[in-house]
């Protein structure tokens, strides 16, 4: 009799049309896990009988719960649907802006701005924290690069990246902003199958909502995403019924590393961060009910974003930011190892303050470090700012 190994397991998932119901067998995607797994558990119901023989009457099975997580390297296009689910938003498609959009007639460039002669970049659809690419510009060096918006008015886009100055009005430009998603209130659920290939069996779980996403950066490591799930029910399939999902598709994009990340904290690109951890928590949970052993739904709640940034201490500026409760932003840009324009994934938080500031102990070897907690809230400035706590953007189709 064969036994199942820990590696020869395929994880596949698909968006459910109706909550808790298995979707069709085709059209699923492969999840490319580093580790993890999800499990069906049951709440034990213990007998209250007071037996004269000093023994206990056997208990029964109660409410079912599915829970667990999968960790994976972030890669282009691999987990967009799961990130969309944890944000409860819907991707805005790629945006193309030309001289004919929103009254824009021509542009000029300075060392770090793109200035419109008329019209409005905000009306055209750009926002602070977006990543865009300039195309068809008269100065070739400004074209086909990932540019980050750090400041935005109706007439002026400000970027931290160096541009080639061109004061001659260009009337034939194109700006492309790849797709992005901000937070919303659209619930999504998935069916997830763990196919154990050695023993020709599958466990398939339904009614799974993404309850938490953790983003982790460590030196000389990949950027790790950990998706935690809370689900409704599960079943076992064997023989001809396994696998349930037929030929799930699998991305082949390479993982993105922390050493290639561009991190902007406040108004500076920083190179002194030694670790970063963000957790998006929807506090998802089912509700036990009378008359059924499964919850009617898994409910998501207010999102909390907690995080810790640890950095080498080069000055007291961040301590001052903590003391003064200065409002900051954080932009994480991860790219593939290729020529421009590099494919990318990006997370942006526009409204947080430092919740704590803790130093490493005196006498420890090496550089002194500081760790900062985050207090994140919805950005309610409007206009040039998206109304969200966090947004995700990617160049994936």
| 152/210 same-domain check | no
| 161/265 same-domain check | no
Domain count, the chain: 2
- Average pLDDT (148-161) is 97
- Average pLDDT (358-384) is 92
- The tens digit of pLDDT for each residue in 248-295 reads 999 999 999 999 999 999 999 999 999 999 999 999 999 999 999 999
**Is 86 in contact with 152 (CB distance < 8 Å)?**
no
Instruction: Report if residue 113 sits inside a domain.
Output: yes
Instruction: Report if residue 151 sits inside a domain.
Output: yes
| 312/264 same-domain check | yes
Domain containing 19 equals 9-34+63-90+185-394
Query: Of all residues in the chain, what percent carry a pLDDT higher than 90?
Result: 97
Nearest 10 degrees: CA dihedral of 319, 372, 223, 197? 180
Which token pair is 241? 């019924």
Can you give the pLDDT at residue 44?
Answer: 96
Instruction: Report if residue 111 sits inside a domain.
Output: yes
Q: How confident is the model at residue 365 (pLDDT cuts 50, 70, 90)?
A: confident
Instruction: Report if residue 1 sits inside a domain.
Output: no
| 100/77 same-domain check | no
**Is 145 in contact with 344 (CB distance < 8 Å)?**
no
Q: Work out the mean pLDDT of the chain and round it to a whole number.
A: 96
Pairwise CA distance, residues 197 & 206, whole Å? 20
| 171/189 same-domain check | no
Tokens 């034990």 found at: 44
Q: Which residues contact 251 (CB under 8 A, 6 or more apart)?
A: 29, 30, 32, 75, 76, 77, 78
Can you give the pLDDT at residue 76?
Answer: 98
Q: Is 254 helix (H, G, I), strand (E, B) or coil?
A: coil
| 300/346 same-domain check | yes
- The tens digit of pLDDT for each residue in 27-57 reads 999 999 999 999 999 999 999 999 999 999 9
The residues pairing with 204 across neighbouring beta strands, listed in sequence order, are: 193, 235
Can you give the pLDDT at residue 366?
Answer: 83
- Average pLDDT (96-112) is 96
> What totals of helices (H) and strands (E) does the chain contain, helices first?
3, 28
| 166/302 same-domain check | no
Instruction: Report if residue 51 sits inside a domain.
Output: no
Pairwise CA distance, residues 358 & 337, whole Å? 35
| 189/227 same-domain check | yes
Can you give the pLDDT at residue 362?
Answer: 87
Residue that terminates a domain, selected from 148, 177, 206 = 177
Q: Is 12 helix (H, G, I), strand (E, B) or coil?
A: strand
Pairwise CA distance, residues 107 & 221, whole Å? 41
- How buried is residue 213: exposed, middle or buried, by Cβ count under 10 Å (0-12/13-18/19+)? buried
| 385/247 same-domain check | yes
Q: Is 140 helix (H, G, I), strand (E, B) or coil?
A: helix
- How buried is residue 49: exposed, middle or buried, by Cβ count under 10 Å (0-12/13-18/19+)? exposed
Can you give the pLDDT at residue 1?
Answer: 81
Pairwise CA distance, residues 185 & 187, whole Å? 6
Which token pair is 189? 């659920």
Can you give the pLDDT at residue 110?
Answer: 97
Q: Which residues contact 6 (CB under 8 A, 6 or more apart)?
A: none
Residue that terminates a domain, selected from 115, 143, 177 = 177
- How buried is residue 298: exposed, middle or buried, by Cβ count under 10 Å (0-12/13-18/19+)? buried
Q: Is 215 helix (H, G, I), strand (E, B) or coil?
A: strand
**Is 266 in contact with 311 (CB distance < 8 Å)?**
no
Strands 268-270 and 262-265: antiparallel
Residue that terminates a domain, selected from 152, 177, 202 = 177
Any idea what the CATH number is for the domain that residue 113 is in?
A: 2.40.30
Instruction: Report if residue 50 sits inside a domain.
Output: no
pLDDT at 363 over 90: no
| 191/270 same-domain check | yes
Query: Of all residues in the chain, what percent carry a pLDDT higher than 70?
Result: 100
pLDDT at 364 over 80: no
- Average pLDDT (119-141) is 97
| 232/129 same-domain check | no
Q: Which residues contact 206 (CB under 8 A, 6 or more apart)?
A: 16, 20, 21, 22, 189, 191, 231, 232, 233, 234
Can you give the pLDDT at residue 330?
Answer: 98
Q: How confident is the model at residue 99 (pLDDT cuts 50, 70, 90)?
A: very high
Q: How confident is the model at residue 143 (pLDDT cuts 50, 70, 90)?
A: very high
Instruction: Report if residue 340 sits inside a domain.
Output: yes
DSSP type of residue 141: G
Which token pair is 249? 């598709």
Can you give the pLDDT at residue 131?
Answer: 98
Can you give the pLDDT at residue 292?
Answer: 95
- Average pLDDT (339-344) is 94
- Average pLDDT (95-108) is 96
Can you give the pLDDT at residue 51?
Answer: 96
Instruction: Report if residue 2 sits inside a domain.
Output: no
CA 348 to chain centre: 10
Can you give the pLDDT at residue 50?
Answer: 96
Element housing 195 (H / E): strand 190-196
| 195/330 same-domain check | yes
């Amino acid at each position: 009799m064969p036994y199942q190994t820990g590696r020869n397991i395929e994880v596949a998932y698909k968006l459910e049309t109706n909550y808790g119901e298995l979707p069709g067998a085709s059209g699923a995607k492969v999840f490319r896990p580093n580790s993890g797994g999800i499990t069906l558990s049951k709440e034990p119901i213990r007998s209250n009988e007071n037996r004269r023989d000093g023994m206990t009457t056997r208990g029964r099975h109660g409410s079912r719960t599915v829970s667990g997580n999968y960790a994976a390297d972030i890669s282009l296009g691999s987990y967009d649907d799961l990130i969309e689910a944890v944000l409860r938003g819907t991707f805005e498609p790629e945006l193309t802006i030309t001289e004919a959009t929103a009254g824009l007639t021509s542009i000029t460039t300075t060392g770090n701005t793109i200035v419109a002669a008329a019209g409005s970049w905000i009306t055209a659809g750009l926002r602070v924290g977006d990543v865009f690419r300039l195309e068809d510009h008269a100065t070739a060096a400004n074209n086909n690069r990932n540019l980050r918006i750090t400041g935005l008015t109706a007439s002026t886009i400000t970027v931290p990246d160096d541009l080639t100055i061109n004061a001659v009005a260009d009337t034939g430009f194109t700006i492309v902003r790849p797709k992005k998603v901000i937070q919303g209130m659209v619930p999504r659920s998935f069916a997830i199958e763990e196919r154990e290939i050695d023993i020709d069996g599958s466990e398939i779980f339904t009614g799974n909502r993404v309850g938490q996403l953790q983003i982790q950066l460590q030196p000389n490591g990949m950027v790790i995403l950990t998706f935690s799930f809370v689900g409704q029910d599960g079943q076992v399939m064997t023989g001809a019924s396994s696998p349930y999902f037929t030929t799930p598709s699998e991305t082949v994009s390479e993982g993105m590393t922390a050493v290639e990340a561009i991190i902007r904290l406040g108004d500076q690109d920083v190179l002194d961060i030694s670790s970063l951890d963000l957790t998006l928590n929807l506090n998802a949970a089912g509700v036990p009910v009378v008359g059924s052993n499964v919850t009617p739904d898994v409910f998501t709640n207010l999102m909390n974003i907690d995080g810790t940034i640890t950095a080498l201490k080069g000055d007291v500026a961040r301590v001052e930011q903590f003391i003064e409760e200065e409002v900051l932003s954080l932009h994480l840009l991860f790219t593939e190892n290729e020529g421009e324009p590099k494919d990318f994934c990006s997370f942006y938080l526009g409204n947080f303050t430092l919740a704590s500031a803790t130093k490493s102990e005196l006498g420890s070897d090496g550089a002194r470090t500081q760790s900062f907690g985050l207090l994140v809230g919805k950005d309610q400035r409007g206009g040039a700012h998206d109304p969200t706590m966090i947004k995700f953007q990617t160049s994936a189709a």
